[in-house]
Structure 1
Amino acid sequence: MPQYPNRQFLDFEQPIKELYEQIDQTKKLAEKNSKIDYSQTIEQLENSVFERRKNITAHLTPWQRVQLSRHPDRPYTMKYIDKMLTNFIEIHGDRNVRDDKAMVGGLGELDGETVMVIGQQKGINTKTRQLRNFGMANPEGYRKALRLMRIAEKFNKPVITLIDTPGAYPGMEAEERGQGEAIARNIYEMIRLRVPIICCIIGEGASGGALGIGVGDRILMMENAWYTVISPENCSTILWRSWEKKEVAAEQLKLTATDMKGFDLVDDIVPEPDGGAHWDYDLSASILKDHIKKALNEVRDLTPERRTQLRIEKFGKMGHWQEIG
């Protein structure tokens, strides 16, 4: 069971924090008074933690799911790679400008099968967040991703992408080096790639930053991830000139996994442990790996030509609209 001192809690997770504090106090009493058996009390409190996590998960608002997708303890791409793959070898650089630390990727074995895994990586502390640019890739990051996809195609290896970004880096220097072109090029090339592509939204899936590695045969989305053209905060700022309406924006954007599945924008929702993926890294990775393997098995035997045609049809028919008047 996770230990309270190593955890950070969101506002709606405070009841869980209070239970952990009670557990800590009870353990201290047990240390001071060995004649009294507190084990049953501690066990009841620990069971209450699991029950509270389950209840919280069952009644989350869209904004709370956005908060969970950004939870500082949530597993990022490298954590999933560590938990799902063996013999992983990271590949660096775009062979043109530099190695973008916000985009990571390389070859590894998924239960004995060699695959190419590519994804955005956020930092786990202040120093690494700056190093990783908060998961916001520059053009060279997307060009590195494309280079890795072409390596996979050359050696006939499936591609798995793990999407977790607040968006592509919006700085002037990124635009000067062709941010829009790099993302558009990736979308074009991923449609035509001859090997299977499985895309997984594991956290934030914002705008073109997500689409730059988000075109594939199957699109998976974790239960507490979000996927939309703009963040709730930025949407609120544009429409209401304030961040205060971010919860309303999250509701109206229809950005949750359930919404995306209803719009046929994702193929499958990947369940998370009660309370969110940050409560159990091993279980989260195991569930995601099972869904990835299932998706790979569904598209593995298609010919490259058929695979390309199905991708074109899949993304060409996306979109829901209503005509009025």
Structure 2
Amino acid sequence: MARATRPRLQRRHGGHAVRARRPRPHGAGAPAPPAARGRLPRRVRPRWRQRRGVAHLGAARGGCDGGPCDGGTGLPRRRRDRGRPRAARPPAAPATGAARLALELQAAGRSRPPRPGGRRAGLTVAPTSRAIDAVIFDLDGVLADTEIVWFEAIRAMLAPAPFTWEQNEHLVGSSSAFTTEWIRTTYGRPESPDVLAHMISEAVNEMIESIDLAAMEGAADLIEGLHGRGLLVAVASQSSPRWVERTLTRIGLLPAFEFFVTASEVARPKPAPDIYLHAAERIGVAPERCLAIEDSAHGVEAAHAAGFTAVQVRHGVAPAPPQARAHAIIEGLHAFDFGWLERPPR
């Protein structure tokens, strides 16, 4: 009669359930034990030893199960090194170039270098040892000599009525509302202010496409120097948003600024301080830590009323007379003194 097959047994070993080997019968007809066949019986090891290995297995195999080990101890390196102090890293080489600029901007409270063409608000700058943390540029007559564009566009729109350069100088630095009202009053135009403002805008935007427009000399170098010192830069202009964006694009400076603000975003145009106070709020810097670069009398007056340090630049086709409210007067952007960032002119 055949012997009934015994079920495999389960027993506990090292806290884990391990399937035991089937007991073998002993007697005359039983097979020889493993020792008699020239090999040792298999040892049942807990699973944690099978995964990580132990000393005698590491020494025999030249490594640990699941990872490298020390041949002297047989323990995995991550266990052997636990509690041992790590070697100090060698000092990093000083940052240069773009990496240095990024570190300076981060130290000034910004997590990354200025994003080109950004339009974000709520920027904040941590207090620094310097007196100036942001520079706000006017556009027309400061970054681009566009006064001739406005003159030619308005003259073409008013033809055949005469429009002289002396009349144009009266409009430099004024708002769109002031310009349209002056034209309606002076020339008796029947159009409404909105229609007339649209006509002027279309004429100016068409004119700018037909001329070769470039940035003022020294503008790119000045902006690059300000960025290299970790300052924020923006534009505050009386012109329309469409005109500002198109002009900055034409002269290749649009990516250099955090944002731009225009008179359409505030209640009162220059010479009221509204546009500069709005720019300071958006850039996250107190007005007394901002510097404005202006060319017109209205612009200098607005910057001064806002509490900015005002620098007048006189390098356009028709520069305004020196303004008493300006803290400094320069004949070109190349003459800007970076020392004013630490000790503003008074």
Larger helix fraction of residues = 1
Q: Same fold (TM over 0.5)?
A: no
Larger strand fraction of residues = 1
The normalised TM-score by structure 1 is 0.24
The normalised TM-score by structure 2 is 0.23
